[in-house]
Structure 1
Amino acid sequence: MIEKTSSILPWLQSHHAVTLVTVIETWGSAPRPVGSLMAVRDDGLVEGSVSGGCVEDDLVRRVLRGEWPAQPQLVTYGVSRDEAARFGLPCGGTLRLLVEPLRDAGWIAELQARIARHELVARRLDLATGAVELVPSFRGDRLQFDGQTLHAPFGPQWRLLLIGGGQLSQVMAQMAPLLGYQVLVCDPRRQYRSGWEGLDVVWQEGMPDDVVVAIQPDAHTAIVALTHDPKLDDMALLEALKSPAFYVGALGSKANSQKRRERLALFDLGEAEIARLHGPVGLSIGSRTPGEIAVSILAEMTAVKNAIRPLAQPDSVGCHAGR
């Protein structure tokens, strides 16, 4: 689970008391997934969310009244239908939360540093002592709780490799981290290296097909080709479509996408592998601008990731970017 803890460290360093709330378990239609975090400062300032606004006010009131003990404590909201209605939990949803006072800023600084290095790391919390240990994690790792020990993974578990460094890639690189993606970019054309200042991306050196092989795509990896240069896009797609990547897409019109499929069929790809290609890329939302196209691509990626059947893409979408 990927969550930001950007404010917690400066709050602690400013000698504020901070309470961290983690979603441990949900039943019914819970607004936020397991692993979601919320930090509450001693003056009521909040970062994050555990219920989309349903129980946050009550948690803040209890922090301000000093109700929580010195050790981590479990609390459940929505056990009864009346309580679920009182807190605004939809469809009788129930949340089991872990409320923990934060005293040691050391592990938070280390966690943030390791996430900044794009590492996968898990936090282990001993409820009896409140002791925290950071251990290596892996893609696909999930929050685990056995009643005594919390194992909560952090870091870029989902990856997005963008082939091409143009404007659309830059817009996608701004949006994708908000959805939990670590963004990788490959473009051997040096003229496309400008304009990336301040964006949290990892540049991959080399030709796109070599980069696809080198990053070892897995079921948590998406690959999108955006250069409009068959020498770059097609070679990367050849490797991407043979990989376990959950999403492989390429920009272009229906006509160009059909020509691309015909070219790919000349190589060592089977029909099922070629059928995995999302092209024209993105959902059918009438997108024209780079921002709109980025939204349509990320929306389709989300649909595929969540096993939702995406809508068909009309011929006109994305055509402004080149046929």
Structure 2
Amino acid sequence: MTTTAPTRRELRAEERSRRGSPAVGRFPAPWRVLGYTLVGCLALLYILPFVLQAVTSFKTDPDAAANPLALWPSPPSTAAYERLFGLSEAGDSVPFMRWLGNSALVTVLVTTGRVVFDSLAGYALARLPFRGRRVLFVLLLAVMAVPNVVLLIPRFLVLNTFGMFDTYAGMVIPLLVDAAGIFIMKQFFESIPREVEEAARIDGAGVLRTYWSVVLPMARPALITLTIMSFQGSWNEFTHFLVSTQSSQYETLTTGLARFVAGGLGSGTQYPLKLAAAALATIPVAVLFFAFQRHFVRGANAGSVKE
């Protein structure tokens, strides 16, 4: 007589029956359908503004003013995008490419600086035994608790005193280090076993070599999380650029769009032009997040768990 080993599915079903939980689900089918319907309606309600933004960017000004909630442009027009990229001679010029260039430059510099300096500071707080480390960590948490708007006037005074107001240095240097990024890296470094670093030190590696060649490659999920957060934060930054710049040549997408929406560039509603610029400003962050969302969640979970 031959006996067959139970499959994994059969073992899971037997375990569920032993615990008294149903195999299909905890809720009856009508309740599940109602729940899915409610979630779907909420998702559509959340997506609707983005759909209206994309559709309106392809409308003409009269069509956008007459039918603001229409989900199809009548007639479709690419005049807004042509004007943004300087392909049209109609209407006042919009320095969208200059805004885009300034935002890209500042975002790359700030993201690179935060990844480097936040990881160095996080590793120092997590592993290097020096006097005042706990006090420094408490001060770091205190900085995270201070609202950013409270620091606007002191930040302007500091930049003006050091001659950095209305310069690229004033836009970039104050954003190179982020308290939240240091906290994330510190928590992740503390989850790495110390035996790995001890083995590297036995082989003759110093502190910086251990950090660069051993610990940092293991912190890839946290680094990806920090990169996404830094890119998104610097790309969407508004208040800092508002107090650190004054000339139009240093305007980014956020400050330029704010002046545009306030009527600083031409008259009329210009809804298609404004929403086209806003849609283009959203694309880089959306692409980056959706491309690395799995690593983002993994890094956030790993940084919040200490072994």
- The one of the two structures with greater contact order (alpha-carbon pairs below 8 A, sep at least 6) is 2
Q: For the pair shown, which has the larger CA radius of gyration, 1 or 2?
A: 2
Instruction: Tell me which protein shows more strand as a share of its residues.
Output: 1
Return the TM-score normalized by structure 1.
0.19
